[in-house]
Amino acid sequence: MKKLLLLSVIILLSKISFGQTVSPDSTLFYEGKEITMSGKVTSTFVTKGEKSKVLINFGNPHPNESFTLVIESADLSKFKYDPAEFLKDKKVVVKGKVKMYKDKPEMMITSPDQITIK
């Protein structure tokens, strides 16, 4: 009986911790972890060149953003909208793995399913 209770508690705690939504400012504490982040897009930018990227910033506009979504040009065809234009000033929820780039947290977006507009 005690084992069943312990197992139930462990399952409940794991569901609570995975269900937590993180703010853009807190993402730097989740390097290497899969998270759900909720926030308002403050700026977007499309890089130039052969391998362009869409950068979607949260917190403050670039270069003072606290968190960035990165969409590679190869993945843009999966979107039915232009993320750089459509997501400006929108509140979104995103799911993915946090990595650090030049001491700032970012998340690679490879599918539109990772982004939900609130």
Q: Sign of torsion, CA 89 17 11 96?
A: positive
In a domain, 4, yes or no: no
Flag whether 60 is in a domain: yes
9 in a domain, yes or no?
A: no
Residue 12 included in any domain: no
Q: Which residues contact 48 (CB under 8 A, 6 or more apart)?
A: none
Residue 33 lies in a domain: yes
Q: Could you tell me if 8 and 15 are in contact, meaning their C-beta atoms sit under 8 angstroms apart?
A: no
Is 58 in a helix, a strand, or coil? strand
| pLDDT single digits (tens) 106-117 | 999 999 999 999
Domain assignment present for residue 15? The answer is no
Residue 34 has φ and ψ, to the nearest 5°, of: -80, 125
Count how many domains the chain has: 1
Between CA 114 and CA 108 the distance in angstroms is 10
CATH number of the domain within which 26 lies: 2.40.50.140
Tens of pLDDT, residue by residue over 30-58, are 999 999 999 999 999 999 988 889 999 99
Q: Is residue 7 part of a domain?
A: no
Whose CA is closest to 83, among 48, 49, 51, 110?
110
Both tokens of residue 101?
């780039």
Residue 43: inside a domain, yes or no?
yes
Residue type, 114: Q
Q: Is the pTM of this model over 0.85?
A: no
Residue 86, pLDDT > 70, answer yes
Domain interval for residue 35: 21-117
